[in-house]
Every structure is written in structure tokens, then in C-alpha cells.
Structure 1
């Protein structure tokens, strides 16, 4: 992605305005938003033709790689367990990749406002590739986790940078279209105005990062790597509590930064409509990411399919999410109403989650396709809708802060639901299969949950494999209760948004 090929370097600020430094960049951002929102014709994109096509293609290809790496471990988990062992640590592979998004999304977006977007973006691409290389060559589960975390840091930078690029070089009128091109692949990022490094709340960032690491380690390792009443788990939960109090205190006192530069914009807590959008955005992860991880695993156990064959079963679900997300961006821009998307989508997600809860080992494949399509339509309706309508519930001056808050809860949901579902599946699954295991079985029951092609599962007779598969599928169905509950909460809250319109 060089300057000659894409023309990026001449369009680093909103609407393609040139800028020689941070001060002028900040001025350009201030001019372009929200004034540009009031008069879209004042801002004009300067990249056109083949350069623009190549640029968009390059950005989306990077986002695709990041999204691909998000769930690839779910499809090939039997091979990973067979090669590296340490199945108890397996859920951490997903958590370690998504965790940087929770901790760093706000800071990375600020860095894009301060430094040259092209070189910073390329730097994150290189970091992502380094992490991927470490993961591919990892000789142990611990080194694979480290590689995944490095790749996650780089991937998060790609994710934020892609949204930053589209936000600063497109016009306000066309911007939602390009944002929805990214949305079906991964979601949406955040863009904050340019700031200096001295204005970053480093203390708040440090405490928040520590809390994220402690909390997700606790819910991932609890009952798997460590017993719930072990000293290690008690220590982790103590850290969670202490760091939570610490973050509240740093937010309250903000000793090193003025109130407006705190990591979390506290005044946004008073906006209850924005609060509903946050709940909906967080809940959408339960409707989208739980099926992404567990539909392929179902087909491995219930149909004896390979990881690649099982992954193909996701296509109807993913296609509907992508299609509905793009349709949402188009229709909401045209007609303006946003509440029906939350209400209708959440209702469909509840129905789809309930249908997936009823799935057992004998359920027809066509029925599962239908259930996943219903769930995909529901999740696609409100997965990224909040980002498109946030300007209708906050003042223009708070738009970027609101996008940052929404991105934060979205990343929390993307990290939380796969992590907690992995812990539930391992603990509940181990209990479900225990009655069927032969008395002389001395291995770890949780290793059987790695997949139908795992050595532990294959070591049993065909008849016993059928019994174990049925128990595992039954345990897997319980995970969809989180989809039902989370989407149900959104169903109850969304009517309170009213029938307002974007731009009204």
C-alpha cells in the first residue's frame, strides 16, 4: 500500500484536506465534524478511479485477514490440541487474540490522530504478521498464546486504522456505505480526534488493561486450568476487584490528565439512550460470536466432519449477517428509523437462540441451517446499528466519544462471550460425558471436547463415540442460553429508544 498506488498520504485528514502537523490536523477535524455533517457537500473525496478501488481493496483485505484469524482456532482446535496438548489453556487462544481490542482500542484510535496514518497502519500490519508467524511456528501452547496476543495487538490496530481511513477521506454522505463494507467482516472501530501523547490517560490505561487481563484470565481458566477455590483463582479475583476500584478512583481523580481527557468519558453515563445502545451492542456479540465458534464444533461431533468441512457449515449464518448488515446501513441511511432494527433483530436473535438450544445430535442439517439463518438475520440487524444512529442520541460534540464507548463495549462483548462460553462448555461438557466414560479411563475428560478427530475421542468404540457425541452436543446447547438472555434484554430495552430518526 504505497503512496503512489493509493494516494493515502495526501488524504490523512477529514475530506482529504492536507495537513503538515498535529495542530493543523486537529483544526481540520474540527472543521470537518460536525460542520461537515450539516453540509455534506463541503467535503469532497480526493482519491478516485482505480486508485480508490485498489485502496479500498487493500484495506478490506487486511480486515479480512484479521477477521479470519479471529475464529480459525475454533475450526482447527483438534489439530492444535493433538500437536501442543494443554487443552485446559485452549479457551485462552480466543481470549488472548480479542483482549487487546478491549484494552487498546481507544488508545490506538488516538495514535492514528497523532501520527502518519499510512506508516502507523503498515506498522500494525507488520506486527500482525509477526504474531501470526510466531503462532504458526509455536512449539507449545504458551508460545501460541503469546503469538496470538501479538497478532491481536496488530490486528486491533488494523481494525481501528481501517475505520480511521474511511472516516477521514470519505464524505459524510458516502461514509456509512464504506463503513458497512467493513462491518460484515468484523464490526466497526472508533475514531477520535487528534490528541498529543501527553493528553493520554496512561494511568487509566494501565489500570484498565490490568483489569481486562485479570478478569478474562479468571473467567477463562476457572474450572479448567485452575479449580475455582484454588489460590490462583482467588488471587485473580482479588486483582479483578482491586483493579476495578483502582480504575474508578483514577477515573474520579484523574491525577495526570484534565477531566476531558479521561480514558472513559464519564459524562456519557448520564445519557440513558446511549446506555441502551451500549447494552445492545454488547449483547449482539452473543448472537454472532457464540454460533461462529460452536456451529462448526457441532458438526464435528454430530456428523463426524473434518474441521474444514464443519467450517463450511457456517456459510448461511455468515452470509445473512453480511447481507443484513449492509442492508441495514443502506435502509437506515435512506429512511432514518433505527429503533425497529434493534427490536426486530433482538426478537429474531431470541428466537434463533431458542431454536439452537433445541438442537440435538439427530437434528436435520437443513433445520440447523434454518435456525442459523434466523439467528444471523437477528444478529445482523443490530450488530453495528448503534454506530450508524449514535448521532441521533448524543450531541454533535460527543459523537466521537460515543463511538469510542460503543467500540469499547463491542470489544468487551466479543471477548466476553467466547471466553465465558468456552469455560461453560468445558465444565458442563466434562460433567455430561463423565457417566459414559469407561472405568479405566485415566485421561482428562475435557480433552475429549477438543473435537471428534481428537485422539482421545477416537480411542473409544464407535458405539461409545455416539453416546459421547450426544452428551457433548447436549452440553453445547446450553451455551445458547447466553444468546437468549442477552438478546432478550435488548428486546425489552430497545422500545425505550422511541421512533426517532437519524438527522431529524
Structure 2
């Protein structure tokens, strides 16, 4: 294709990656406004977790479709689904409608991001690919980190939180000509008719994967907060999750109602120590990115009484450094391709930064928080995107699409799992800390639960200075403890790097149509 067409294509998938990243985190700073408008605090966590749940539940199916069907139509279909979900979110009359919209947008967004990575894999050489993947990660990362800022700006304006979702419709309409007229077609299997392609899809595996992810997200979100750990509902969900995990594992291992060639999960990758360690490294980096994005603004909202937009602006040091190191790693990876060193350095920075955040209190100076952010940002930026290029270089040409989906499960799956676990920690430990700190004041359970939804709750706004101080201290201890999850991610990345091969990949030859 001509240079100007390729340039237009790059603009298109950059915008798609930006929108996907934006919607991944845009709920971080609009939840308080949504709660005021729609109520149902027990469902509030789904505003954040519903989007990544929809993504990770369908990533493998979407990745398989990109390796089987005409990629342009899969990409355009993903955009349409993303916009339908955004429209439902913007117009949602109830919390249930909003959650449905978030899940649909998550599915469409995952298809958009996978489409971007698939176009890169199909039309670039290995030498170029790491830089293009870094560009995609740059756009996705910018969207992720600007999500709270833009969401907070809409929530604090007359436009209201609904335009945090409606804005996707406007941007899609403006860029539609690029997607329709400039994006090239590429059929991985031109000799197969559509009916034959549909028969090759592992529909049972797709259903079991969706069931598995949905059950995991539900049980992590509700157990301990909405339902007690020992309640029948929690136990039943854990049992169902375990059974679905076993069923999916057996179905994929023995290719039940499918074939080894067409099964959804690339089981053969589990025989590769290197690919498994790439998966762990990507998951650890994603955890570092999203824990920081969600909980740094929350810390400042409670301790400094920041508005949504003011708290989000506190992420600017993190934004700048993550973006720089995503591009830095993408540019240097072909020249310094000893990948174990990248993950070792990245893990060390994440481990140091999260250990410092674990010690944060309500009196910690803002400048210190910015410094801790930057340390974590260096670690996450160095490794959050390189797994795509490395995994593509380690597999056979016909497995590139599967490798992209495999790493994407790690990256987006880390969002869903990290937010679900951290949300459970925040709700459970936050309630316990508030209950212990405010025991003499006889607040009800519902008042304490509501206080965790934001510093604007009545417990903070209508209480004495002493009560507010005790409550802020309790919430701050809870937020700090969440960084224990990030310490675990740093340890995982360091251990993964230690067990990786001491080899340098040759990212110079061309594959998969490059």
C-alpha cells in the first residue's frame, strides 16, 4: 500500500487503541457521580470491572477470529460493538443497563486492540514490529492514564458523566472514513468459504472461557463484601468456578468437540517456558499500571479532598514516565534484545516503588507520592508492551495471531483480576478498618460501606474533624495495603526474569506478511 494509506491506517488503529485504553480506566473517577445518579452501591464496582471482564472473556475467541476471518470485517464489527456499548452506557437509566453497556464495550474494545496488533503483525517486519507495538502501547497507555482525567472533567462539568461515554460516538463518527476506505483487507484463509470458517471455531471452548472469566470476576467482586466468605452464595460460586476451570482445561487438552489445530487456547504454548514467563511478566506489568492508575487518585481524593479532576491530574508524573519508557523499550528492544534483562530491571523498579507505597500514610507529602509513582512507572513502562514483539518472534509464522491473543490475555486479564482483587481488598479491609476506628461512634454498616464510595459521603461531609481524621486514616491504611498486591507482581516479574533463558532474540527478519 502507499505511504499515505499506511499513515492513515496507523492513525486509525492508534485512535482505536487510545479509545480502548480510555474506556478501560475512565470509570475510575466517575463512580461517585454515577452512584449519585443511579444508586445501587452494591453494584458500583462493576462499572470498573465489567469492561475488562468483557474483554478478557472474549480475547481468545476474537484472536482466533482474526486468524481465520477477513480481518477488516472483524475490526469494523468490533468498532460497531464498542460504540453500541458506549451508547448504552451514556443513556443508561439504571445501573444494570450501565453494566451491560460496559461489558459490550469491553468486548468491542478488545477486538479493536487485537485488530491493531494483528494489522501490525501482518504488515510490518520483526525489526519494525517492536516500535509499532510500542506505538500501540503508547496510545493504549495514554488512553488508560488519561481516562481518569477525562472522566473526572466530565463528571465535574455540566455535561455530566454520561459524556464520558458519549464522546466515543463523536470520535468514531469523525474517524469512520479512515476505517471504511483506508483499512486494507487481509484474509488469512482465502480458500475457505465463510461456512467452513464458522465450523472451525471452537464454540464450546469459547463458552467455557466466558463462563470461567465471568464466574471469577463475580466471586472476587462479591465475596466478602456483598456476600460473606462463608455464605452459601460465595461457596457455590467458588465451586462453580473450580468446575468451569476443570471443564475448560479438559476440553482444551483433549480437544473435545474441536481439533488440536482449532482449539481456542494455544495449549502448545504451555510447553514453552519462555512464553509462559512472557505471560507472567506482562501480567505483572499490567497489574502495576492499573493499581496505580486507580488508587493514586483515590488516595488524593480522601487525604487532600481533591475533586475528581484534581485527583486525576496528580497522575501526570506517572503518565509522562510510563509513556516515555514504553517508547524507549520499543525503540531499543531490537538493538538490545536480551529480554531477561528488560524484565529483571522492570521487576526491580516495580518492587521498589510498591514497597515504598506500602508505607504511605495520610500525612505523606505529595512530592514523595509523585516520586514513588515515577519508580513504578519506569518498571511498568519498560515491560508492559514488549511481550507482543517477543512472543511473536518465538512462535511459528502461523501462530503469530495466537501469540498476540495469548499475551493480550495476560495484559487485559491482569486488569480484570487486579481490579477485582484490589476492589475486594478495598471493600473488605476498608470496612474493617473503618469499623475498628469508628467503633465508639455507632455508625451503621451501610454508612461505613457508603463512605468507601468516596470522600463526598455524608460520613466525611457531615462529621466532626476528629471523625473525619479517623476515617481518612482508616481508608489510607486500606489503600496502602493494596500495594502488597503490587509487591507480589514485582516479585513474580523478577522471578520470571531469573528463570528466562539468557539469549538475545534476532528481531530483524520478516514474518507473517511483513
TM-score (normalised: structure 1): 0.85
1:59 touches 1:162 (CA, 8 Å); kept in 2?
yes
Deviations 1:252-297 (A, max 9, x none): 3323222121111222212112221111112222211101100000
Alignment partner, residue 451 of structure 2: 448
Give the structure 2 partner of residue 460 of structure 1: 463
Counterpart in the other structure of 1:29: none
**Distance (Å, rounded) in 2 between the aligned partners of 1:333 and 1:349:** 23
Give the equivalent residue in structure 2 for 1:427.
Answer: 428
Worse-matched range after superposition: 396-405 or 257-266: 396-405
CA distance in 1, matches of 2:133, 2:187: 16
Between the two structures, name the one with larger relative contact order (CA 8 Å, sep ≥ 6).
2
SS at match of 1:485: helix
Cα-Cα RMSD:
2.2
**Which residue is 1:225 aligned to?**
226
1:488 maps to which residue? 491
- Is the aligned partner of 1:117 residue 2:117? no
Spell out the pairing of 1:68-467 with structure 2 (5 A cutoff): 68-186=22-140, 194=189, 196-391=197-392, 393-395=394-396, 398-437=399-438, 439-442=441-444, 443-467=446-470
2:21 counterpart of 1:67: yes
Task: Tell whether the 8 Å contact from 2:63 to 2:404 is kept in structure 1 after alignment.
Answer: no
Is residue 192–residue 400 contact of structure 1 (8 Å, CA) maintained in 2? no
For 1:79 and 1:200, the matched residues in 2 are separated by: 42
Would the aligned equivalents of 1:325 and 1:381 in 2 still touch at CA under 8 Å?
yes
Kindly tell me: are residues 155 and 80 of structure 1, through their superposed partners in 2, closer, same or farther at Cα, counting changes over 3 Å?
Answer: same
When residues 269 and 193 of structure 1 are mapped into structure 2, their CA distance, relative to the original with a 3 A threshold, is: farther
Counterpart residue number, 2:161: none
**Per-residue deviation, residues 49-82 of structure 1 (Å, max 9, x unmatched):** 3x43333222212221221111111112221222
Change (3 A) 1:394 1:53: closer
Whether the aligned pair in 2 keeps the contact of 1:345 and 1:378 (CA below 8 Å) is yes
The 2-side partners of 1:124 and 1:395 are apart by: 27
Alignment deviations for residues 204-240 of structure 1 (CA, whole Å, 9 cap, x no partner)? 1111111111111001111122222222222211210
Q: How many angstroms does 1:381 deviate by?
A: 1.3
Report 1:21-60 matches (<5 A): 46-49=1-4, 51-60=5-14
Contact 1:62 1:158 in 2 (8 A): yes
Q: TM-score, normalised by structure 2?
A: 0.84
Q: What SS class does the counterpart of residue 185 from structure 1 fall into?
A: helix
Secondary structure of 2:503 counterpart? coil
| Equivalent-residue separation in structure 2 for 1:395 and 1:205 (angstroms) | 23
Which piece of structure 1 moves more, 275-284 or 82-91?
82-91
1:176, distance to aligned residue in structure 2 (A): 2.4
Note closer, same or farther for the CA distance 1:451–1:393 as it changes in structure 2 (3 Å cut).
Answer: same
CA distance in 1, matches of 2:6, 2:399: 30
User: Quick one: distance in 1 between partners of 2:36 and 2:478?
Assistant: 22
Structure 2: distance between partners of 1:439 and 1:463: 11
Preserved CA contact (<8 Å) 1:109 1:192:
no
Aligned-pair distance for 1:416? 0.2
Which stretch has the larger CA shift, 59-68 or 383-392?
A: 383-392
Could you say if the C-alpha distance between residues 271 and 192 of structure 1 is closer, same or farther in structure 2, counting changes exceeding 3 Å?
Answer: farther
Distance 1:306 1:90 in 2: 19
Q: Secondary structure at the match of 2:333?
A: helix
Deviates more, 1:286-295 or 1:240-249: 240-249
5+ unaligned residues in a row in structure 1: which ranges?
A: 1-45
Choose 483-492 or 386-395, whichever is displaced more: 386-395
The 8 Å contact of residues 74 and 293 in structure 1, kept in 2 or not, is answered as: yes
Hey, what does 1:43 align to over in structure 2? none
